[in-house]
Structure formats: C-alpha cells, structure tokens
Chain A
Amino acid sequence: MIFEQFRYEPLSAASYLVGCARAREALVVDPIADLGPDFYVLEAADQGLDVVAVVETHVHADFVSCARELADMTGATHYLGAAAQGLVRYDVTPAADGDSIHVGQIELQAIATPGHTPEHTAFVVVDHARSEEPWAVLTGDSLFVGDVGRPDLLVGDAELDVMDEETRAATQFRSIRERLLTLPDHVEVFPTHYGGSTCGGVNMSGKASSTIYFEKRYNLALAQPDAAAFVRFVRETAKPFPDGYARIKSYNLGLIGKDELAGATRP
C-alpha cells in the first residue's frame, strides 16, 4: 500500500493519496484547491499510480475543494457520502454506509458519520495484501486528534443545512462513539484537519494522526458523559469561524461558480 498524507499548513488541512503499487492505481481523499489538481496528479504519477477515484469525506466549509477538477482531469470517479445526493449541484457517485471502494488490494469501507455535516462519511482503510483487519480510518472532520469536528458551520439555508447546530452536535457525538470508537484499538486515525484548523476546537493536536485507542482514552470532547454535555463542551471550546466559510461551502456544493468565490479564501 502507498499511503501519503499531504499537509497544507496555511489551512492545517490534510489530504491523502492511497494507492496499490501492484495495480498502479490510487485514490485521492479530500483534495485541496490551494494545492490544485496538478499537484495530486503529479504526486500519484511519481509513485507510478493513476488516479482512479476521488473521495470526499464531506462538503468542506473551510477550504475550496478541487475534487471536481481532479475527477474531470483524470476521468476518476468522484465519491461523496450518500446523503449529499440532492444537496450538491453536480454529479457524484454516492458512498453509502457499508459501501466499499476498491483500488487493487486496497479497500475503503464507507461509514456514515453525520454530525459535522449530514453527509459526512469516514472511510476505513483495509490493505488486503497485509490483512483483512482494518489498518487505518480516514476520519475527515468527525474525529480529530484530541478534538472533534465543529457542528456549527451552517450555510443558513434550512434545506441545505438539513440539521441545526444542536442536532449536528448530538449526532456527531453518537457517530464518533458508536461508529468510530468501536473500531479495533490499533486502527490509525487520519483526520482532514489538525492543529490550528478552525474546523475543530481549541484542543486539536498539532500531530496529524493518532489511533483509536489513544483518542478513546484521551480525547476530551469524547470523555463527556452524554450528548448534552458534549454539545456544551464543543460550544465552549470552539474557535472563531473559518474565513468566508458560507461562500466556500456554497462553492463546494455547486451553488456558486469560481468567479463568486473571490476573496473567500484565506491569504
């Protein structure tokens, strides 16, 4: 298995290249427009890999996605959580809970983890060349290292937002506890954000990966006794909102074009 984490420091955002060296195929997870589609194509090519799938854990609110451009450029299939159907204004292949995406010996198993957003989906990584057991989980903006994804990045349109902040927070608590912390202890955690990212709270670690065991034991947000306490905790430990998030989210949903994005990204 080829597994690369690309960290984009200005946004404290991590994207991933996961590939099978034998099949010479790879998928890209949560590609960032600041890096650009060319970046991912060349990184894959340097490893001898063709990009055959672009996977997004959710519709991002804090960075501009280049998933559509990357999929167009490479002919790759663009996957997004099944609940995104009807929300995004472009064609994607739905990844429903329990679905698998295969590249060679590598399998990504979709786990619906609504909370940060309604369509949020985490992906368990299995390398069948090594074991049938899960090795890692790409947690997107659900479980972070030391923290969790914030539930309050709403566009302000009830239909698009689907859930209000409080429902999202309570759902996030359940998704992480019931669907992610139940994974085997050894499973490595690879989130889409770390450190200073405003997608999580003040307890996010600068370390961009962890394990299920460590987060189960030491993640303060998840140590809350119940959903109500969790909601309070998340609110109290929140950071300021990401710059221009409503406009970025609208672009990533396909509601507005690139021309309307100007000024929405951070310097």
Chain B
Amino acid sequence: MTPAEVKSAIAEGALVLDLRPPRRFAAGHVPGALTMQFNRADLADRAELVLPKELALVVHAEPEPIAAAATAILREAGYDVRGHLEGGLAAWTAAGEPVAELPLLDVDELRERVHDYLVLDVRERFEFRHGHIAGAQLLPSGEAWQKAADVPGDRPIAVVCGDQTRSAAVASMLLRAGRDARLVMGGMVDWLERGYPVEKQPVHA
C-alpha cells in the first residue's frame, strides 16, 4: 500500500501493526501504530493475545520479506490484513506524513526518578509476584487493549516487562490512546541485574 492508501485505511479505522524492533518504533512510527515483536513461530499467538479479530490491520515491517511473511501469517490466523506499507517508514516520511515517537527509559533513569512515573508492569501475575518494582501497577499485556483507558493519568507511565517485548506493545497502545507513555528498555532483567530492589509480596488482583 502507498502512504496515501495507508492513510485512508487508517481513516476508515484500520490499525497499523508495526513489527520493527522497539528502538526503530521508538525513533519514529506511523502515528497510532501498535507495535509487536515479529517472529514466524508466534506472531499469530502474540496478535491473538492482545488484538481483537474485528480490527482491520495494515502491516508495517522492514524489509519487505518480513512484511510479506507477517501478512500471510496474520491472514492465516483470521485477521483482515489490508496490506502493508510499501517502502516502510522512508516512503511514509517521503510522502510528507508525520511520525510519532515513543520515549525510552533505561532502568538507571527509571530508578533515579521512579517517583515521577507510574510504573506499569505488563507481565503475567505469576511473574509480578516473583518480584516487581515497589509501587508498580500490574496490567498483564493480554488485558491492556481493554483496560488501557483505566490506567491513572496523573504521571507519565513507565511501561515495564521482562525485557521490552510486551512492554513495547502496551506502551504503543497507551501512546495511541493519547497517554504519556515511556518504554523501559531492558525491563526487569536489567533491573535485577543491577541489583535494584524489588517487592515480593503476593498481589491480590
């Protein structure tokens, strides 16, 4: 699809699914796009975990072979994939279209200013119980599409998971909803590696 075709698909309610790595998505993406990790083995499962089937999708992946593979996988899974953004982000910006950015945080920055953020932990409940950042709010990634609007809005939201796979998807949902979301690169793996403290009380969610 050309940038103009993608634009009109968006106007008709299609969601751009951006399958590039988190850093690329963060640096610039089609506004409103949702990001997700690509691999052939579990793209369908990842999509089914967070996205309703009724949504029309436009795939954004680079380079081209990934877009073609992703389109086939998602169609096979029953999604209405309208096509993919041909020429990727370069074509989009060359057409004069705006891009959105997702601010990144590393765990050191998060630790230093942790009280400035609402820490949103998007792992599963069992992972959260094993250890989470003090004050973190739990929202498993599979529930995020329905519950993103309920996340309190008084502070910027620092989204964290094990690394940055599920957190990138949820951060992009929040961004799409107009929220001030930040993606914590490295997630709890980096946090624990630094020896930063975690709370281990069981959560009654």
Contacts and interface: CB of A to CB of B under 8 A. Distances in A.
Interface of A: 24, 37-38, 41-42, 45-48, 50, 73-74
Contact of A38 (B21, B23, B39, B65): B65
Contacts of A45: 38-40, 66
A73 B63 contact: yes
A157 to B, nearest CB: 35
B21 A24 contact: yes
A147 B176 CA distance: 59
B69 interface: yes
Nearest to B40: A46
Given A46-B39, A48-B37, A48-B39, A41 B63 contact: yes
Nearest to A21: B163
A118 B65 CA distance: 35
Interface in B20-55: 21, 23, 37-41
Query: Size range of the interface on B?
Result: 10 to 19
A45 B63 CA distance: 10
Interface SS, B side: loop
A78 to B, nearest CB: 15
Contacts of B23: 24
B66 A42 contact: yes
Contacts, number: 27
Interface of B: 21, 23, 37-41, 63-66, 69
B40 A74 contact: no
Contacts of A37: 65
B21 A42 contact: no
Given A24-B21, A45-B40, 7 more contacts: A24-B23, A41-B63, A42-B69, A45-B39, A46-B39, A46-B41, A48-B21
B21 A50 contact: yes
Nearest to A44: B66
B168 to A, nearest CB: 12
Nearest to A74: B63
Contacts of A50: 21
14 contacts: A24-B23, A41-B66, A42-B66, A45-B38, A45-B40, A45-B66, A46-B41, A47-B39, A48-B37, A48-B39, A50-B21, A73-B63, A73-B64, A73-B65
